[in-house]
Structure 1
């Protein structure tokens, strides 16, 4: 037992040291998983890993479920519940099994994903994990020390295919049943904050934003309609003044009208609150959605406008990574606006690897966290109307 505890302590040290040395570019959140488990209890210590017919036990229905939580630094915590059935003639500890046994297990694990060491934006996410569990086999309960590894293959920010292998050693006098448990399944990482925000609250916020935008609509520039103001609304007797006293109507050129409209649109667009993403993140929070809803209200109120969304980054990070991250941030906002009825062709999403904010954050100069946050604030630019 002392040897197993030393192994566990060593595994925890490796995980914690790795967490301090590297940062995972993902948002923290809950993890849910399901799939199948396969047990190799043949006693071969992994020397015959692909002898499926004689060494592996499995069932035909989903038999492995998990729930956990992933942190922004790459560490994760997970609990597993699994079921299996040892069939007749399967090799157990070197001997053919003569009866069928039911297998139940509950395991608690702590682990770390190494995706950041390979490609923070990639789909390949290898991990290691360790922990303890309890299993019941043939009516006997045993406590186990677990050590394993595996891979997550992320299709997007929410779904991944999971492959894993877990070695289990019974704690005690060493006479217990040691075995290997393999798993294959899917992992789902939902945005629970957005899920439980409530449709009603979102609709109320949208209504308030739209109404506020309408109420703030500036008065019509009277100079733009000066040419129509000399038309009387009602026919009535008029006294025509002498020609010498007639005041000429000031004409407004098309260019002056265009400039006035542009200035009004730019003023309204500048009043829209901009969001500032968290470090190494392109995820939109509930607070961010309220601000982006203001932009949606602007675009819906002016249905012919075309804008550019520029995702900014702070000066930290490599040029290649910052270029990718800034474009990803802009596309996140564009994707949300499309759900609010804004046509994608009206939005140009671009990135920026150059800090556009004037101040000490430029060119590697020292600056405060607030200044760094300001440099990550997105920009909205009017392109056409």
Structure 2
């Protein structure tokens, strides 16, 4: 009996450890691009009105653009956050637009070749896999309004990634003429386009490194538990031999041990049932939703079958939300999640008397994602859950 108990305990520990390790499995979200090449193609918009920031967004009067892709770029980006780019752009100053403080009367071409050094602000504010704000400085040559001039450039912008390779780039540059002796003026150039990332070298983000360290700690703990179990088995064997020698003299102790084993068996059955419930998978909800998706229904269906197979078993069902929204709203939302889960179990033949259901709202968060604390959507999702635990067996 004791060998069976130890074996079941080993299986339980390894099952719980495997589930825990699976939750901490490294994914694509835990990696970031360390360095890469990047090619961009898009549109540029030139504001050479002469009023700098006055009426900055007056597209109709001040912005000049052409109908076809008019900007191309190539750059190399390094793990340090530094990026080096070369950019070529073309445009036309349209008749009727404001150029150098006056209404333009003749359509003229705009050409620019620029180089710049940029810095990824994620190195300061925290790395993500989808949003890259940046600033930069550079030099260039621009032929605008039939006036050529070298320029000092300053840029601010951001990239947002649709896939690991393809993203959108939005930026605005201020271009200051090096020599204004021939009437050359300062101007603004805005750009939007598609960027393609290639020859990328990836590595773990800060969060990914932390998760990797946690996984290593879990494996060490599993080994420690296995060693402890082996030592416990040895001690149990020694105790069994001693019990056989003292059997006649310790009848009262034997009876007490029987009762102890009965209690342990009951505890073990409870743990086995809870482990089986846990193995069916977690139950989580989308933001502001009480909808039961196919995965949730599958989990609840497995729980319904377990309850039907074990007529004496009752469970507790707790419904929770994340911290976003008011306390009153979150309590109401958790009640809907609770009721829909309970209704589903009842529809599968489970008596409502076998389920002690309670709605907790945003109480008992599983992490530190409280009001006012920034968390990722995945971290918030952990708290939008249904927890089912064994009540009575």
Q: TM-score if structure 1 supplies the norm length? A: 0.46
Q: TM-score if structure 2 supplies the norm length? A: 0.45
